[in-house]
Structure 1
Amino acid sequence: MPEHEKARQAFYRTIPRFWHDLFQEPYALYDANILSDLEAQNIRQAAERITAIYDKAAPLLRSLPDETLLELGYPEQTLPFLRLKPLDTEGVIRRVDLVKTEQGYKHYELNADTPTFIYELFRVNGIAARHFGLKDVNEGCEENLQNAIRTAVRKLWPHHKAPKVVFTAHHDHEEDWNTAFYLGELFGYPHEIIPLQELKLIEDDGLYTPAGTRIDVLYRQTYPIEHLVDDKDEDGTAVGVELLKLVADGKLAMLQPMSAFLLQSKAVQALIWGLHTEKHDYFTAEEHRWIEDHFLPTYLDREPFLNGSLPFVEKPAFGREGDTITIFHSDGTPLKENSLRTYGDSLKIYQAYQELPSAAIQTPYGQEEAHLLIGAFVIGRHAEAFGIRAGSAITGNEAYFLPAGLQP
């Protein structure tokens, strides 16, 4: 084993429940990207402004008729629940994906419902930064995340009796399961970590633990709503829809709330961009400047790009991890595409292509050139931890985690 790989393994094995390797491939790099204080400030400012635009769009989305929501890609089964808003914020933990350009930070998409990259940025990044003699770019963010989870649980369960809180994920998915464990540990109050498949749903009654205790608050770390509504048990009962009925009836509280799922569709970017190009007074002059500064032109069809000279990207409205993304030349011929095509039948959106910047990174296989994507978390309304994924032109599951830090 090369010395660099020995050092990487030795370092990351000291961090409990961390998946420094995934699917038998390296994931966390033994390297660090050095940022300036100004860069960190600009990233957080961009993330807050972008999320504020989405939050401004949310009431408009809730006012739309069901037919229009279907045209924006929302599954029909979700329509009775899309207008639920149990908290004063649209989401608790959201991640904005950013690309650094000569014009500032542009916005790829918002992961509003079930964002990953949490443990890496709120805890592991700091351990790695200090190891390399740097200051953690996310110092203090973990405490703010903890407070946000605790506050959300209190607001979702405003009763004198302490709630039964359960964090859940697929037990056989190392990243999801250990992230759920981390969030439960951070929550700090009595709770259980229970595999998703072991939860028991009783129609019109409640959701229960394997021991028969009724659950009051469920944190589903990575159980996307668009998948949940299709889930059925062995007798054909639509258990996913029944779970959302429990939420709507006040028999179960859920994190993330349904308001976060409302903003998960990438078609929302097309709605926002359409209002911006019309100079619609739904957004203030300042908000229009934010959209111009940070959003990429996005549409529900490819026609606006075929008359120009710039490449564009086709994305599924509810796709994840680069799956089913294709980059096209301006004439509509494919330039690059992700080999995974899981979302082939999903509604597509079309966005101006903005190439990711690249940098040399140190990997177990030697030095490589990689494209850098910034993931910036917004907790409630405030920008918190952010970090870097290093990979190919289309960032997917195979991308590395590259720690980042500031000069002390």
Structure 2
Amino acid sequence: MSSLFTGTERDRLFRQLQMPWYNLVPNAGVSLEPYALYHCHPVSQQQISRMKDAAERVGTVLSHLWSVIRGFDEETLLEYGFPEETVRVIKFDGLPPFCMRLDWCWNEQEEVYKVIEANVQTPSFWFECLEGNTKVAEHFGFKPAETQIQPVLRNSINQAIKRAANWLGKSLDRCNIAMTTLDNPEDMGTMRWLSKFVDQPHQVFEIEQLRIKDHQYLFNERSGEAIDILFMWYPVEWAIFDRDPNGQELWSALEELILKRKLVIVNFASAFALQPKSIFALITDLGLDFFSPEQAETVFDLFPKTVQTSEEMGDTYFGKPVFGRQGEGCFSVIAGEISDQSPNQDPWYTDQFYVYQELLKFPTIDLANKEMTALWSTWLFNDGTDHFVPAGIGLRVSEGKITDDYSYWCPIGIAN
């Protein structure tokens, strides 16, 4: 018999799904830790419909905000935490993001429905939401929570690639397309899965093989082939510090290729305009009057108050780094005292600028005799007209109150 975390049936299911990252290696160790739960959490069609509607409303606000941010001067971008090195490419790259993953405090019992952040540049959790849920639901005799969602992804990513070719001024059939990310089971496994939705010929390889030739072009070291359009699952805030094997910094050369339109990186600088957690503080700062009546209603209903100084929140709030990922560096404060914090307090995160959000009560789910905190995610995909279409919903659960690298993917489905 299998438990939620281990067992023969669990191993067999996730291997059949070709999901090599169903167990993960934590940052601090070498032993495998369970990630995918051998379980299907029941959801209602009403909840799925409400979440997709809410996600679409949020996407409209963020799509508008994207153009606003790109119009800011350098001083304003720096004020909201954008690294100085990224300013030129953010303002230059006119290709909107092709996707984003929204994370939610979706607490039906408390009637709290707030989007807590948008993961736009290098978002993970694709496979789990767009294919994994369906396969696990079928395994346990549940109905899929969503249907016909993979065609939305296929249309979106191919529209993005076509627009990239137009941005370069080249015909699509003359563009060399590549997809790359870090060489680990989750990142490469996800990228190989994602690549099956790209209709044009392309190559997939580890980011460690990526090289720049004398400020002239980007290429795959293994094949030597120059790249025109790159889909790179890698954070911009890391890329600005990267160096080659000889210790030479790489950002200036990469920036030059982008600015000269010798290269387009899909969902890179354009998506980074919406990646910092400080854009939620920007929404608060702009105020409801800045938005159209419909957008203002969405901001009022679905966005939490977010500010750049803790004093503005009083003595109870949630703090997160501007470029935090997987909950790292986060903490909550109640009545002036830290009540919870993520296990990873690495200086890379804790030395960043912080934003402070109203402290929300997250829902909990009882699993394996444990009360686990539930974090819901919804996907949005650009349909090619800069309207973001909802497709893909996922659930992460954690034993602590802050979702982090040790949280689990909990598949969902509709009970028959």
Coarse TM-score class (shorter-chain normalised): over 0.9
Deviation at 1:127, TM superposition (A): 0.4
Question: Could you say which residue in structure 2 is the equivalent of 1:323?
Answer: 328
Secondary structure in 1 aligned to 2:405? coil
Residues 332 and 339 of structure 2 are in contact (CA less than 8 Å); yes or no, is this contact kept in structure 1? yes
What is the alpha-carbon distance in structure 2 between the residues aligned to residue 29 and residue 17 of structure 1? 12
| Structure 1 consecutive aligned stretches of length 4 or more whose deviation exceeds 4 Å | 1-4
Q: 5 Å matches for 1:219-234?
A: 219-221=231-233, 223-234=234-245
Partner Cα distance (1:234, 1:196) in 2? 13
Structure 2 counterpart of 1:118 = 126
Q: Which one of 375, 397, 406 corresponds to residue 390 of structure 1?
A: 397
Structure 2 counterpart SS, 1:29:
coil
The answer to whether structure 1 residue 205 and structure 2 residue 209 are counterparts is no
The answer to whether the Cα contact below 8 Å between 1:86 and 1:156 also exists between their aligned partners in 2 is no
Q: Could you tell which deviates more after superposition, 78-87 or 143-152?
A: 78-87
Specify the code of the residue in structure 2 equivalent to 1:189: Q
Cα–Cα, structure 1 residues 234 and 26, in superposed 2: closer, same or farther, change >3 Å? closer
Among 336, 354, 368, the residue aligned to 1:348: 354
Task: Check whether the contact 1:372–1:389 (CA below 8 A) recurs between aligned residues.
Answer: yes
CA–CA distance in 2 between the matches of 1:52 and 1:323?
28
How many Å separate the matches in 1 of 2:235 and 2:3?
40
State percent identity of aligned pairs.
27
Partner of 1:166: 178
> 2 CA distance for matches of 1:47 and 1:329?
29
How far has the Cα of 1:51 moved from its partner? 2.0
Contact 1:228 1:241 in 2 (8 A): no
Q: CA deviation at 1:104?
A: 4.4
Unpaired runs of at least 5, structure 2: 26-31, 383-387
Structure 1 counterpart of 2:43: 35
Which runs of no fewer than 5 residues in structure 1 stay unpaired? none
CA distance in 1, matches of 2:91, 2:376: 30
> Alpha-carbon deviation of 1:226?
0.5
Tell me which residue corresponds to 1:284: 292
* In structure 2, C-alpha distance between the alignment counterparts of 1:174 and 1:18, rounded to whole Å: 6
Q: Confirm or deny that 1:175 pairs with 2:181.
A: no
Deviations 1:94-134 (A, max 9, x none): 10001113334211100011111001111111100111122
- Residue 29 of structure 2 is matched in structure 1 by none
Partner of 1:359: 365
Q: Which amino acid aligns with 2:401?
A: A
Q: 1:395 to 1:155 in 2, by over 3 A?
A: same
User: Is residue 2:269 matched to residue 1:258?
Assistant: yes
Give the aligned partner of residue 338 of structure 1.
342
Q: Considering only aligned residues, what root-mean-square deviation do their CA atoms show, in Å?
A: 1.7
Residue type of the alignment partner of 1:166: A
Q: Between Structure 1 and Structure 2, how many residues are aligned?
A: 393
- Letter of the aligned partner of 2:345 in structure 1? R
Aligned-residue offset at 1:204: 2.9
Matches of 2:235 and 2:322 in 1, distance apart?
Answer: 13
CA distance in 2, matches of 1:398, 1:321: 9
- The aligned amino acid for 1:352 is E
Matches within 5 A, 1:8-407: 8-23=10-25, 24-87=32-95, 90-101=96-107, 102-158=110-166, 159-160=170-171, 161-171=173-183, 173-210=184-221, 211-221=223-233, 223-276=234-287, 279-280=288-289, 282-306=290-314, 311-331=316-336, 333-342=337-346, 343-361=349-367, 366-380=368-382, 381-391=388-398, 392-407=400-415
Q: Please give the per-residue CA displacement for 1:236-295, whole angstroms capped at 9, x wherever unaligned.
A: 43213321321221111112142210100111100101222xx42x20122111111111
Letter matched to residue 29 of structure 1: L
Are 1:91 and 1:259, in contact at CA under 8 Å, matched by a contact in 2? yes
Aligned-pair CA distance for 1:3: 6.3
- 1:204-263 Cα offsets, whole Å, 9 max, x none, are 311012222111111112x10000011122444321332132122111111214221010
Q: What CA distance in whole angstroms lies between the structure 1 residues aligned with 2:9 and 2:246?
A: 52
Matches of 2:238 and 2:97 in 1, distance apart?
19
Name the CA distance, whole Å, in 2 between partners of 1:194 and 1:201.
15
